[in-house]
Every structure is written in C-alpha cells, then in structure tokens.
C-alpha cells in the first residue's frame, strides 16, 4: 500500500500525518499556525511533528495543502489575507530541504474537493462544489473528474462573493463577503464570544441562543451557495470544515435559504450535504493528490 506524508496548513491550525492511497489516515497530529511574522517557526513545528512518523512509515513523498492562492509553479502561496506570513515564501523548496522528501503543493480548497470526490460525500458527483468553512471560507470545483483551475491555481476565491453589502467587514477589505458572514469569527461574534465548539455543543444540547447562531449562519451560507450555483452548476455541494461540524443544525437552514434564493433550475437539482471526513479532508486530499495527481 503506497503512502504519503500530508500537511494541511490552515489559518489557525496545521494538520499533519500519513495518508494511504485509499484515503485512510495512518498517523495524525496538529500544530498551531502563526498567521503573521517569520514563517520559520511554522516550518520548524511541521518538521518536528512529521519527522518521528517519517521514521516509522515509508512514504512516496509529501502532499501539502495550503490556504491561499499558489503561484503558477505551485512552489509558494501568493495570496491569503488570513495567512500573510507564508505569502511568497518558498514553501515547497524549504520543506523538501528540511524533510529530505519530494513535496507537492496544492490549494487547500482543491485538496478538500479531491478528498470529498475520492473518499467522502462527493463520490460519484459529476459536478462537485466543495466548500470548507473555518478561519476562512474556500471552495474547490471538480467537473467530470478534473479540477477547475483558473485563478491562483484553483477555482478562485469563492468565499469572497458578496452576500450582504451591509454585513461584517472581511479580512480581504470588502464588506459582507460570504467568508465574513459564516466564518468561525462570525459565529463567535454572534454567540457573544463563544468558540465554534461551544456553539455547536450548546446547540446540540438544545440551547436556543446557540441554535439561533447556527440558523443565522446557515441562512447566509445558503445565500452564498445560491450565488455560486449559477457559476458552477453543481449537482452536489459538500460542506466541510470546523463550522460544518454542526451538521444538520447548519445544513437545514442553509438548504432552506438556498431554496429561497437560488434560480429555479437549481432549487431541486442540487444536493447540499455535509462532509464525512471529520475536518481532515484537507490533509487527506493533500496526501491523495501527491499519490495520484488530479490535474
């Protein structure tokens, strides 16, 4: 069984481990991601976390999922308002040198879409839209088994469609982006400072205030998905990431909002489902993309 080391660099945490060709995680860990300053400490954390498992697992190489646009050579991240520390940093070259392994960089939204399409809730979808909600919001698109790439080596920054011109200020500088309205900070703000995990737990316990937070978040998510549907005409939309751990408490209001705002042709033809990969879709996709590239 072929395996790859895998790294998923997000705006708050970086996940790392070993993934096999069937999408199974053989080892996993997590370190914090410093958003600003020198990227060297993050590289040190990644190398320190991976080296022990690389001594016990023989891997073909390292797949790296990174939040943000990549350059045309896929050697460095060139844009992400939530993670400026890595912008224009030679990440691929640095990791290859430090880990003594070949590396392949991929946009995190693409990696998540790959994982969902191959192993998760997006299997058998002909036109898949994968949305991941966490510190930011990203989206990947797979059509007839091929990744859609046209901006930043991905489908573009789908989290920055405007859904509320009078909404929250976004880290990108705009107002009312989908990301600004549904990200983890937006959820925390609606919940009076409670973290996403607390909100989800409280809502699952039936606390009305936290249920209202997820309903409002789902409503904005549905508006955003209704805006994206005419662009990509998906037959399935998979929602992943930390905020999506709320499951149906988020998805039910999102579906209702989507049905209320989407053009008629998409109201009954698009399935909106939750990820089954428990937040590890980026890491699984990064490893899988290294072992079997989808281009």
Residue 103 to residue 123: CA distance in whole angstroms: 26
- Check residue 37 and give its pLDDT: 78
Indicate the burial class of 16 (C-beta count within 10 angstroms; 0-12, 13-18, 19 or more): buried
- Check residue 15 and give its pLDDT: 97
Element (H, E) at 265: helix 264-267
> What fold does the segment set 123-274 form as a domain?
Nucleotidyltransferase; domain 5 (3.30.420)
Residue 242 to residue 279: CA distance in whole angstroms: 6
Question: What residues form DSSP beta bridges with 98?
Answer: none
Dump pLDDT digits (tens) for 46-55: 999 999 999 9
Residue 158 to residue 265: CA distance in whole angstroms: 21
Residue 86 to residue 125: CA distance in whole angstroms: 33
Architecture label for domain 3-110+280-291: 2-Layer Sandwich (3.30)
Return the ∠ at Cα 196 (arms to 289 and 28), rounded to 5°. 35
Element (H, E) at 208: helix 208-232
Structure tokens at 135: 């510190």
Dump pLDDT digits (tens) for 62-92: 999 999 899 999 999 998 888 888 999 999 9
Question: What residues form DSSP beta bridges with 130?
Answer: 140, 238
- Tell me if 200 sits within 8 A of 245, measured CB to CB: yes
Helix, strand, or coil (residue 18): strand
Ranges of residues in the chain whose predicted pLDDT is under 70: 35
Residue 145 to residue 124: CA distance in whole angstroms: 9
Structure tokens at 23: 């999408």
pTM score: 0.95
- Check residue 83 and give its pLDDT: 86
Structure tokens at 141: 């698109």
- Angle formed by the axes of helices 248-261 and 196-204, to 10°? 90
User: Which residue shows structure tokens 């912008």?
Assistant: 87
Domain span(s) for CATH 3.30.420.40 in the chain: 3-110+280-291, 123-274
Residue 140 to residue 121: CA distance in whole angstroms: 14
Indicate the burial class of 127 (C-beta count within 10 angstroms; 0-12, 13-18, 19 or more): middle
């Amino acid at each position: 069984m072929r395996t790859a080391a895998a790294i998923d660099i997000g705006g708050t945490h970086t996940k790392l481990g070993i993934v096999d060709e069937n999408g199974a995680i053989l080892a996993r860990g997590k370190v914090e991601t410093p958003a600003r300053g020198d990227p060297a400490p993050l590289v040190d954390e990644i190398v320190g976390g991976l080296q022990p498992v690389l001594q016990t697992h023989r891997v073909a190489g390292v797949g790296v999922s990174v939040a943000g646009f990549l350059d045309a050579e896929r050697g460095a991240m060139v844009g992400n308002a939530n993670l400026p520390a890595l912008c224009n940093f030679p990440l691929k070259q640095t990791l290859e040198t430090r880990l003594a392994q070949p590396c392949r960089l991929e946009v995190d939204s693409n990696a998540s879409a790959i994982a969902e399409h191959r192993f998760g809730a997006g299997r058998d979808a002909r036109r898949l839209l994968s949305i991941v909600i966490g510190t930011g919001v990203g989206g990947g698109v797979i059509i007839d088994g091929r990744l859609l790439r046209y901006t930043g080596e991905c489908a573009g920054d789908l989290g920055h469609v405007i859904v509320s011109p009078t909404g929250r200020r976004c880290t990108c500088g705009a107002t009312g982006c989908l990301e600004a309205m549904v990200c983890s900070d937006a959820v925390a703000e609606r919940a009076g400072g409670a973290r996403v995990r607390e909100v989800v737990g409280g809502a699952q316990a039936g606390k009305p205030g936290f249920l209202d937070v997820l309903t409002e978040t789902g409503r904005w998510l549905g508006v955003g998905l209704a805006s994206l549907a005419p662009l990509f005409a998906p037959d399935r939309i998979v929602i992943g990431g930390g905020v999506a751990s709320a499951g149906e408490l988020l998805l039910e209001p999102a579906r209702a909002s989507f049905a209320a705002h989407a053009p008629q042709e998409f109201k009954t033809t698009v399935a909106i489902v939750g990820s089954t990969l428990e937040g590890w879709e980026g890491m699984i996709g990064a490893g899988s993309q290294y072992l079997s590239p989808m281009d």
